[in-house]
Each structure stands twice: as structure tokens, then as C-alpha cells.
Amino acid sequence: MLSAAISFILTAGGVAFAGLRAYRRRFLSATRWFAVALLPAGLYLTGLFPLASTIGREFADWAGKLVLDPRVWTGIALLGVSAVLLVTTRWVGRRGSAVVEGAPERPAAAGPAPERP
């Protein structure tokens, strides 16, 4: 009940602000504000507010573990090492420095391409 009141108050306020922007002949800004103003009512009517609160709680739990759990820090370090290795290998591969020993060299080009009729 309270979430319905809050969402419709936010929507009404946003629509009023959009109307004020339209009154001042700023139609593009008014349209943007109107679109944003419809979001709270749409979230409430589709039942997505409980989902948003669940996501918020789970994010808070994750953030709490991030600070206190050394296992999470180890995972972050592994992700960082993985990212650095991927970027480094791509950079080295583009520079052409990664030459495999014993690999046959590429043949030189046979000359310019023939002209098309």
C-alpha cells in the first residue's frame, strides 16, 4: 500500500515537472522527464518492486562479504590476473612479437594483384 502511494506520488511529481518544462517550450526535455516519470508507476503495476528490493538486499549482502571475506578478494585477484593476461596476449599478438620457433615462414606475396577486366 505504501509502495503504491510512493510510486504514484513520484509519477505525479514527474508529470508535473514535465508539464512545467513543456510550458517553457522545452519539449525534448519535457518528453524525457515524462518518460522517466512513468517508470515508478510502471514498476509498481507490473509487480517489479519486490524484485528490486530482493536485488538490493542481495547486492548489500555481496558488498558486505566483499569487505570481510578473503575468499572474495582471492576471486577478485584471479579475475584481475585473468584480465591482465588476456589484454597482454592480445597486445603482444598484434605487435607480431609472438613468433613460434620452428614454424614455417609465410611466403612472400607474388606481386600485385591482377587487374579486373
| DSSP summary character for residue 9 | H
Domain that holds residue 11: 1-47
User: What tens digit of pLDDT does each residue of 48-86 get?
Assistant: 888 888 898 999 998 888 788 888 889 889 999 999 999
> Cα(6)–Cα(40) distance, rounded to whole angstroms?
8
**Count of residues making up the chain:** 117
Count of domains for the chain: 2
* Residue 8 belongs to a domain: yes
- State whether 1 and 14 are in the same domain: yes
- State whether 27 and 63 are in the same domain: no
Predicted pLDDT at 68: 80
Specify the pTM: 0.48
* Residue 106 belongs to a domain: no
Predicted pLDDT at 98: 47
Determine which of 4-8, 40-44, 101-105 has the lowest per-residue pLDDT on average. 101-105
- Is the pLDDT assigned to residue 100 strictly greater than 70? no
Predicted pLDDT at 77: 92
Find out whether 48 and 6 touch, Cβ atoms under 8 Å: no
* Residue 63 belongs to a domain: yes
DSSP 48-108: -HHHHHHHHHHHHHHHHHHHH-HHHHHHHHHHHHHHHHHHHHHHHHHHT--PPTTPPPPPP
* Residue 18 belongs to a domain: yes
- Is the pLDDT assigned to residue 99 strictly greater than 70? no
Q: Summarize the confidence of residues 2-23 as an average pLDDT.
A: 92
- State whether 41 and 77 are in the same domain: no
- State whether 42 and 2 are in the same domain: yes
